[in-house]
Amino acid sequence: MGPLPVKGNEIRRNRSQERSTPLDSHPSAVTLPGLASTAKTSHRTAPPCAFVIFGASGDLTARKLVPALYNLDGQGLLPDGLAVVGVAITEMDDESFRQNMHHATKTSAEVENFQEETWSAFEKRLHYITGGFDQPKTYDDLKARLLQIDNDFQTCGNTLYYLATTPSFFGVIVGMLGELAMAVPRQQGSWTRVIIEKPFGHDLQSAAKLNDEVHSVFLEEQVFRIDHYLGKETVQNILAFRFANSIFEPIWSREHIDHVQITAAETLGVEHRGNYYETAGALRDMFQNHLFQLMALVAMEPPVHIDGPFVRDRKADVLRSIVPLSGDGVGLNTVRAQYEAGEISGEKVDAYTVEPDVHPYSQTETFAAMELSIDNWRWGGVPFYLRSGKRLADKRTEIAITFKSVPQQFFNLGGDETINPNVLVMRIQPNEGILLTLGAKIPGPRMVVRQMQMDFSYRTGFGESRATAYETLLLDAIEGDSTLFNRYDSVELSWKILAPVLEAWSVNDPSTPLAKYPAGSWGPTAANVLIARDGRAWRNE
Q: Which residues of 58-93 are buried (b: 16+ CB within 10 A; e: fewer)?
A: bebbbbbbbbbbbbbbbeebbbebbbbbbbbeeebe
Residues 490/225, Cβ–Cβ less than 8 Å: no
pLDDT at residue 25 greater than cutoff 70: no
Nearest residue to 523 via CA among 426, 360, 388, 373: 388
pLDDT at 408: 67
pLDDT at 264: 97
pLDDT at 364: 95
Burial class of residue 269 (count of CB atoms within 10 Å of its CB; 0-12, 13-18, 19+): buried
Reported confidence tier of residue 491, pLDDT bands at 50, 70, 90 = very high
In terms of pLDDT, which residue wins out, 462 or 293? 293
pLDDT at 193: 97
Beta-sheet strands, E only, within 118-221: 126-130, 159-163, 192-196
pLDDT at residue 222 greater than cutoff 60: yes
CATH code 3.30.360.10 region(s) in the chain: 233-292+326-466+505-532
pLDDT at 508: 81
Reported confidence tier of residue 43, pLDDT bands at 50, 70, 90 = low
C-beta atoms surrounding 465 within 10 Å = 10
pLDDT at residue 476 greater than cutoff 70: yes
Long-range contacts of 403-407 (CB under 8 A, 24+ apart): 403/251, 403/256, 403/257, 403/258, 404/256, 404/257, 404/258, 405/258
User: Which tens digit of pLDDT belongs to each residue from 73-109?
Assistant: 999 999 999 999 999 999 999 999 999 999 999 999 8
pLDDT > 90 in the chain, percent: 71
Catalytic residues: 290
User: Which tens digit of pLDDT belongs to each residue from 385-435?
Assistant: 999 999 999 999 999 999 998 876 666 555 556 678 999 999 998 888 999
pTM: 0.88
In this structure, the dihedral spanned by the alpha carbons of residues 118, 122, 124 and 126, taken in order and rounded to 10 degrees, is -150
pLDDT at residue 46 greater than cutoff 70: yes
Reported confidence tier of residue 261, pLDDT bands at 50, 70, 90 = very high
Query: What sign does the dihedral 275-278-281-284 (CA atoms) show?
Result: negative
**Vertex 174, ends 170 and 180: CA angle to 5°?**
150
Chain centre distance of CA 102: 27
> Residue range 314-333: average pLDDT?
94
In terms of pLDDT, which residue wins out, 134 or 15? 134
Residues 105/66, Cβ–Cβ less than 8 Å: yes
pLDDT at 38: 36
Mean pLDDT across the chain, nearest whole number?
A: 88
Residues 329/63, Cβ–Cβ less than 8 Å: no
> Residue range 170-177: average pLDDT?
97
Nearest residue to 264 via CA among 127, 167, 369: 369
pLDDT at residue 33 greater than cutoff 80: no
Nearest residue to 87 via CA among 45, 51, 120, 129: 129
Nearest residue to 517 via CA among 383, 357, 349: 349
pLDDT at residue 317 greater than cutoff 50: yes
Reported confidence tier of residue 460, pLDDT bands at 50, 70, 90 = confident
Burial class of residue 121 (count of CB atoms within 10 Å of its CB; 0-12, 13-18, 19+): exposed
pLDDT at 19: 37
pLDDT at 169: 96
CA dist 224 and 236 (Å) reads: 17
pLDDT at 420: 83
CA distances from 388 to 202, 291, 336, 418 (A): 18, 8, 10, 30
User: Which tens digit of pLDDT belongs to each residue from 182-211?
Assistant: 999 888 889 999 999 988 999 999 999 999
CATH code 3.40.50.720 region(s) in the chain: 47-197
pLDDT at 34: 38
Pick the CATH number of 233-292+326-466+505-532 from 3.90.1150.10, 3.30.360.10, 3.40.50.1820, 3.40.50.980: 3.30.360.10
3-state secondary structure of 279: helix
Beta-sheet strands, E only, within 267-407: 334-340, 342-344, 347-349, 367-373, 383-389, 396-403
CA dist 466 and 463 (Å) reads: 8
In this structure, the dihedral spanned by the alpha carbons of residues 237, 241, 244 and 249, taken in order and rounded to 10 degrees, is -140
In terms of pLDDT, which residue wins out, 102 or 237? 102
pLDDT at 418: 67
> Residue range 270-298: average pLDDT?
93
CA dist 290 and 498 (Å) reads: 13
Amino acid at 123: E
pLDDT > 70 in the chain, percent: 89
In terms of pLDDT, which residue wins out, 451 or 294? 294
**Vertex 311, ends 309 and 317: CA angle to 5°?**
100
Radius of gyration of the chain (CA): 25
* Phi, psi for 53 (deg, rounded to 5): -110, 110
CA dist 108 and 110 (Å) reads: 5
| 58-62, 148-152, 189-193, 232-236: least confident range | 232-236
CA dist 425 and 399 (Å) reads: 6
> Residue range 263-276: average pLDDT?
91
> Residue range 431-460: average pLDDT?
82
pLDDT at 232: 87
CA dist 370 and 138 (Å) reads: 45
pLDDT at 439: 79
CATH superfamily of 47-197: NAD(P)-binding Rossmann-like Domain (3.40.50.720)
